Amino acid sequence: MKRLFLLFLALVLMSFTMSAQQYLDVVHLKNGSVIRGVITELIPNESLKIQTPDGSLFVCEYAEIAKMTRELQENPRTRFNKPKGYMGLLEVTVPSLLLGSDFGFTMVNGYRIVPQFAVGLGVGLKYCAFEGALFMPMYIHLRSDFLDRKVSPYFALDVGYNFSVLDYGYYGAMISPSLGVSYNVGKYRMTTGIECMISPLLEVNFKVGFSF
């Protein structure tokens, strides 16, 4: 369990590092013009050079400058790639080295209200290595990606019921929280996390998936 916790902690720290905010220098001129970019040279009380994101270089005399500020860079490629709307989520489950036993897949159909909250209904098919049998989870899926960024830690909660498909003795009510990291890969949102399922046994499995 300690190894799983350290793995999750490393994933979260990586997500915060990769999603670090970037800022632009902003030069407001007395004629009303505004130049956004990175100041590359500054000569106090004389002039400065600022390079814009498209590569243009501007030289501004201090007498022309009204004020200088900084602001968060708005770059769509660093934001959540689908912050609102229909959410389809396909996940694959594989056993961990500790208390893991399930192989299988699940599919969620839902709606993302904002990047930080989504809700849906899920169904899947899993194989339990302990029992050598199949079962079908059906559940309500609640999800929160903490950051509206390209990479974010997430928390999800599945609440529902495991139905026996073939000789499965541990059917019944199910609750399954999971923690991990989500990240943009093209138009998809990928996920990598750790799931803890109680139904009625305690199992810890890895989950990998993508939403669209």
**Which pLDDT band holds residue 18 (cuts at 50, 70, 90)?**
very low
The Cα 7–Cα 1 span in angstroms is 10
Which domain range does residue 31 map to? 23-74
Mean pLDDT of the 82-88 span: 85
**Is pLDDT larger for residue 154 or for residue 199?**
154
**Which pLDDT band holds residue 24 (cuts at 50, 70, 90)?**
confident
Q: What is the pLDDT of residues 129-144, one digit of tens each?
A: 777 778 899 999 999 9
pLDDT at 94 over 80: yes
Residue found by looking up tokens 């959540």 in the block: 80
Structurally, how many domains does the chain consist of?
Answer: 2
pLDDT at 123 over 90: yes
183 and 125 fall within a common domain: yes
Cα-based distances in Å from 204 to 110, 136, 162, 178, 192: 25, 17, 16, 9, 14
36 and 138 fall within a common domain: no
149 and 192 fall within a common domain: yes
70 and 87 fall within a common domain: no
pLDDT at 109 over 70: yes
